[in-house]
Structure 1
């Protein structure tokens, strides 16, 4: 590779390493060198993989050396690799070509994500909520709480109020009663208006829901 090309890669590698810290190795392989066993021309944070200037090629570099004119060689971005001591790296390999399309070098980034993968595992376990799919809302007032309970009763029945029959409304009222909705001041009036029933019918439905629950418990 031309000296100016290598100098540019060196500055770029230094910038990337400085941006992402000591866990980010950046290495440039010079595939035009006379010594095929010594391709590493630029390296930052070599402690990630234990490599240094003048070391030999990686498997990808070796394949590119085998046929540098192979235009089918494609960059590989954000793939997983592993070091000899078992650390996981997020790697990207970019082929550097000359004006004729021949591969003259490889620019590689290897970011150590071992600790991040461990942290992700711990965070997944921490935020796991079992089989719950929908987050339960936290209302800011009893009015919002009553509105949410009414919406839950409708979801429980599975149809809008306009399509509910008596049995559906009894089921919805029973849910509201069990949830303690009628402990909220003036909740009965709001529920009656929402379901289009009288206060007398509301109490009747509450009693019927209790009877059904008792019968189900005995059966």
Structure 2
């Protein structure tokens, strides 16, 4: 039987709760496993949304063994390419857990099945594809709307925020800048500004005064 200190037991118990919560949140696309690195021959303590076919009691992975051998091994290895036993592509993240002595005692590992997302990506690509040579050519967006949105994005980026998170004084300065640039002369400019800022058209007009 593996001997553990009180602190190590507490850390493992808490990690099991974290894994359960993550598993419930990201089901069914993400496998979440807890590895006990104090017992590498029977490392897996829990596995949620089992995508790999492993079981509780399965041995540690190569990454787990490297952490056991080297306490200085990276504690977080995120978004690395992986593959399930049946060939499905996966994106994995492994987080090592150390005890008070700086030794690895456990790891929380997440493996995302990318096969469904690749299918969705392909379907979405087909759905949004357009024939550039098709006629008639038209736009449902007022001419110049893209320029307005681009300028708003630039101003927000300059302030290290997003258009919808701009404060009232920033919105007033933004409308002033748009007006000076002649962008408020564009047809339906206020509708475009309001939609991009996530405010009402009346509010946009008030900021422009």
Q: TM bucket by the smaller chain?
A: 0.5 to 0.7
Change (3 A) 1:128 1:64: same
Structure 1 CA distance, aligned partners of 2:43 and 2:18?
Answer: 18
In the alignment, structure 2 segments of 5+ residues that lack a partner are: 146-209
In the superposition, the TM-score normalised over structure 1's length comes to 0.55
Which of 15, 19, 22 pairs up with 2:21?
Answer: 15
After TM superposition, where is structure 1 displaced by more than 3 Å over at least 4 residues in a row? 129-132
SS in structure 2 opposite 1:37? helix
The within-5 A match list for 1:179-218 is none
The within-5 A match list for 1:96-175 is 96-129=97-130, 137-138=139-140
Aligned to 1:193: none
Whose Rg is larger?
Answer: 1
Structure 2 CA distance, aligned partners of 1:72 and 1:6?
Answer: 20
Aligned to 2:79: 78
Aligned to 2:64: 61
CA deviation profile, 1:107-164 (whole Å, cap 9, x unmatched)? 10112221111110221133133669xx952268xxx7xx99xxxxxxxxxxxxxxxx
Structure 2 CA distance, aligned partners of 1:16 and 1:28?
Answer: 11
Count of matched residue pairs: 136
CA deviation profile, 1:28-74 (whole Å, cap 9, x unmatched)? 111112xx32111222122x00011110111211221222x2x2424
Aligned to 2:10: 4
Change (3 A) 1:64 1:129: same
Structure 1 CA distance, aligned partners of 2:52 and 2:114?
Answer: 13
1:39 aligns with 2:43: yes
Q: CA RMSD in A?
A: 2.7
Change (3 A) 1:128 1:99: same
In the superposition, the TM-score normalised over structure 2's length comes to 0.57
Structure 2 CA distance, aligned partners of 1:110 and 1:130?
Answer: 38
Structure 1 CA distance, aligned partners of 2:74 and 2:141?
Answer: 57
Change (3 A) 1:43 1:130: same
